[in-house]
Structures are given as structure tokens and as C-alpha cells.
Amino acid sequence: MPELPEVETIRRSLAPRLAGVGVSRARLLRRDIAVAPGDPAGGFSRQRPAKDGSRALTAPARIRRADLLEGDRVAALDRRGKRLLIRGESGRALGVHLGMTGQLLLLPPRQRLPGHTHAVWWLEAPSPKGAAGKAPGRPSATSNGAATRHPAAVGVSPGPRLAFRDPRRFGRLWLFPDHAAADAWLDQLGPDALTVTARQLARALAAARRPIKAALLDQTLLAGVGNIYADEALHLARVRPERVAAGLRTSEVADLARAIRAVLREAVRRRGSTLRDYRDPDGQQGASQHTHKVYGRAGAPCHTCSRPLILTRVAQRATVLCPVCQN
């Protein structure tokens, strides 16, 4: 599953290429991966009827192309934890969560869409060098009456496309009518792990009577850490993952906060970890997996003490640690 370093790599790759760019067309190919205003939390496809029949299934709300930012212009790309937010200049916004196998790919105009593509955005072609404002084109009406441009109609090369693909369909797109609703979605999460301070981490863990590994995976306490980087940060901080989170000493929390930041920053520098599905917007793999100290290395020697790393389970998640360094 893409964690903070992978999502931040995607944000850094897309932000300079999308900021200020118009969305000439948008198309949703699978309604069940989108969460629109009026849908149940998590999307209509995840709802379950009450066994006693007291709660009926909610029908999916209608989605307009404007809800997908068609006819809009990208203002900014923000991120908290594993959530990415594409803000439109109109005030609308699009939230993206990649789930387990989700990808955001920036494709050349005529490249065939990859399999399991569930949403596509056609972007304005880059303006000719020296031109100001929007790329030239013939405006046409969208489904909501907004004007959009189709550069190809007047002989200008079409722009790239942004594609959301997700073979396992655990990822979601959230459609927000305004930035306030989008900000509230981000505010459901704890502090961002890339910049978390010792004080913020101590506050998040103060009442956590769970193992520290489980607490780090709780996105409402700390946003962005998943199984990979929890193991790596706990190893760097020399903290055993089964220890009760609230029982860590002040100095240990400070060490852990530093370790989390260091592990995530290095992973971002290496453009994330590709273990199976993760790719950046250009389809390239990350390289951080080659520097993992413990994750995926059960039975191999610890890089610090040379003792074999052990595999256990904490919070029902496979966990690798050093029995000596994390004692």
C-alpha cells in the first residue's frame, strides 16, 4: 500500500506540471470508486443493509463532470498523510486515496489507457513558448454549462491525460464542492508524520494503551505511516513494537519522532518504495526498498548487530524487528 513517501513523491511530481493547468474533460469510468456529496461515508459501494431491515441501501448520488473538475483549472496539490488533494480554482476539490494498488499516471495524449483505469482527466496542452494565459482552442459547453477548451480542434497538439487506475479497487476519489469540505476531510487525520514533533507525537500517544506499532498505524493519531515505515522507524529508534504506546518515556518519544521524520525523508528522497504495484506518475519505480533495514528482511542479519531479524505479528500485521537492538 502506498504510504506517505509514495504519495508525497506523486504530489511533488505532479504539482509543477498541473498547477495552473485547465481540465478540458473528465470522465469517471467506475462510479463505485467515487465518493460524492450525499454518498454514505466511504462510498455507496461499501454500505451494508441492516440485518433487521431498518436501514436500506442508499442510491448513489448523481455526479456531474464539473464535480470531477471538468472546465476548472488546478490551483494546487496538497497532501496530509496518505491523502492527496487536488484543489480547483473554482473552489471545488478532488481527494485521492490510493488504497492498496492505486496509481496516478500522467500519460501522453495518444498512449493507450492501462487496464483497470477508473477515471481520466484530459488536460490543456502546454501553452506555446512565450504565450500567456490559456492555450488557444475552441470553447465548447460541458455538461454543467461551463466553458472548456479542446486544443486539438484547431490543430494544436492535445495535452496529456491524468489517469487513476487501481486493480484491486480499494482506492477512492472524494468529490468536494468547496475547499472547506476538503479541508475537513484532511483534518480527520492526525499530524503529518513527515513533520511530526516530539510534542505532537507525545500528545497522540498519551492515551494509547495499544502496542506502539498499532498506534503508529492509526491514521487519526499520526498521518502517513504504514507497515513499512513503522517497522523502519521503530528499528531506528530502538523501540520494540509490542511496547505499550503510552508507556514510552519522554526521551523515547522524542527519539521515535526523530526516527519517523528521518525514515520518511530518506524514503521521499529515494522516491518511495516499490514492492509490487507502486509507480510514480511517469510509471517509474521508487528505490527506497533497496535501503530497508528490517522490513521484508526476516531471517537476514541486522545491519547493526548482525543477529538474525525475527518476524512476529503486532496488531495483526507482519512485523520485523531486531531482538537485540530493539530489546
**Domain of 147: which CATH number?**
3.20.190.10
Q: Which residue has the higher pLDDT, 111 or 145?
A: 111
- Phi and psi angles of residue 300, each rounded to the nearest 5 degrees, phi first: -80, 160
Starting at the edge strand found earlier in the chain, the sheet holding 34-35 runs 34-35, 172-176, 93-97, 83-88, 74-80
326 lies in a domain?
no
245 lies in a domain?
yes
What is the per-residue pLDDT for 57?
Answer: 65
Q: Do 58 and 100 belong together in one domain?
A: yes
Non-local CB neighbours of 247 within 8 Å, separated by 6+ positions: none
192 lies in a domain?
no
Of 144, 160, 186, the position where a domain reaches its end is 186
Q: Do 32 and 160 belong together in one domain?
A: yes
Q: Do 167 and 19 belong together in one domain?
A: yes
- How does residue 250 score in pLDDT terms, banded at 50, 70 and 90? very high
Q: Do 277 and 221 belong together in one domain?
A: yes
Q: Do 155 and 43 belong together in one domain?
A: yes
211: left (phi over 0), alpha (psi -120 to 50) or beta: beta
CB 10 within 8 A of CB 281: yes
Q: Do 203 and 182 belong together in one domain?
A: no
Average pLDDT of the chain is 90
76 lies in a domain?
yes
What is the per-residue pLDDT for 1?
Answer: 83
pLDDT higher than threshold 80 for residue 130: no
Q: Which residue has the higher pLDDT, 23 or 47?
A: 23
Range of the domain at 127: 4-186
Region 313-319 average pLDDT? 96
Q: How many CB atoms lie within 10 A of CB 198?
A: 16
Of 124, 153, 186, the position where a domain reaches its end is 186
Region 169-175 average pLDDT? 96
In the chain, DSSP assigns E strands to 23-28, 34-35, 74-80, 83-88, 93-97, 103-107, 117-123, 138-141, 147-150, 161-165, 172-176, 310-314, 317-321
Q: Do 182 and 208 belong together in one domain?
A: no
What is the per-residue pLDDT for 127?
Answer: 66
What is the per-residue pLDDT for 129?
Answer: 53
Of 186, 213, 243, the position where a domain reaches its end is 186
Q: Do 167 and 295 belong together in one domain?
A: no
* Bridge pairing between strands 34-35 and 172-176: parallel
* Distance between CA atoms of residues 49 and 38, nearest Å: 17
Starting at the edge strand found earlier in the chain, the sheet holding 103-107 runs 23-28, 117-123, 161-165, 103-107
What is the per-residue pLDDT for 59?
Answer: 72
What is the per-residue pLDDT for 46?
Answer: 63
What is the model's pTM?
Answer: 0.88
Q: Which residues are catalytic?
A: 2-3, 82, 317
What is the per-residue pLDDT for 40?
Answer: 79
* Distance between CA atoms of residues 133 and 102, nearest Å: 33
What is the per-residue pLDDT for 307?
Answer: 98
Give how many domains the chain has, as a whole number: 2
Tens digits of residue pLDDT in 6-35: 999 999 999 999 999 999 999 999 999 999
Residue type, 49: P
203 lies in a domain?
yes
Q: Do 179 and 203 belong together in one domain?
A: no
Q: Do 177 and 33 belong together in one domain?
A: yes
Chain centroid, CA 212 distance in Å: 23
Q: Do 64 and 134 belong together in one domain?
A: yes
Tens digits of residue pLDDT in 186-238: 999 999 999 999 999 999 999 999 999 999 999 999 999 999 999 999 999 99
Q: On the CB side of 59, how many CA atoms lie within 13 Å of its CA?
A: 2
What is the per-residue pLDDT for 54?
Answer: 63
pLDDT higher than threshold 90 for residue 290: yes
What is the per-residue pLDDT for 143?
Answer: 37
191 lies in a domain?
no
CB 317 within 8 A of CB 213: yes
Q: Do 267 and 154 belong together in one domain?
A: no
Terminal Cα-to-Cα distance of the chain (whole angstroms): 28
CATH number of the CATH domain containing 247:
1.10.8.50
